[in-house]
Amino acid sequence: MKILHWLHTRNWGGLEKFVALFACELQKQSCKNTIFFSRRNGIADCRELLQNSTVELKTGNQLDLWQTFREQSPDAIIHYTGDTMHTAWLAGLLKWPKNHIRIFMHGFGRKHDIYHHYLYQKFNCIFPTR
């Protein structure tokens, strides 16, 4: 099985680290994984975290993503984003595989109440954001 992980986020924090480790674990279970960064180049951070992993890492804009998609023909795309729908219209125009999963996550800066401030301070100690 081939999976394309599309990270459309701006920083290197908990979500990005989770995606890298998740792809690495799937790779160990004989699943070919590619992580594609479309908003920031996270390749160096990913390599530092994964060390000797064989997960393929790519970066570029949405056109580069489309080219990667066409070359690899993945069985599934997992789209991680911090912004909800501004590029979701692409899914209607492009012929994504049936297994196109979108995960929307609003980062630490979006929630400003006391509870989330305290919670994110603790998370940031464990998963520092760059």
Length of the chain: 130
Mean pLDDT of the chain: 79
- Residue 76's pLDDT is 87
Q: How confident is the model at residue 104 (pLDDT cuts 50, 70, 90)?
A: low
Query: What total of structural domains would you count in the chain?
Result: 1
Residue 78 backbone dihedrals phi, psi, to 5 degrees: -115, 120
- Residue 82's pLDDT is 62
pTM: 0.72
User: What value does the mean pLDDT take over residues 72-97?
Assistant: 67
- Residue 39's pLDDT is 86
CB 56 within 8 A of CB 34: yes
CB 56 within 8 A of CB 33: yes
- Residue 66's pLDDT is 87
CATH number at residue 109: 3.40.50
Asked whether residue 40 carries a pLDDT value surpassing 60, the answer given is yes
- Residue 13's pLDDT is 80
The domain containing residue 35 runs over which residues?
2-126
- Residue 83's pLDDT is 58
Contacts of 32 (CB under 8 A, 6+ apart): 1, 2, 3, 56
- Residue 20's pLDDT is 93
Coil vs helix vs strand at 99: strand
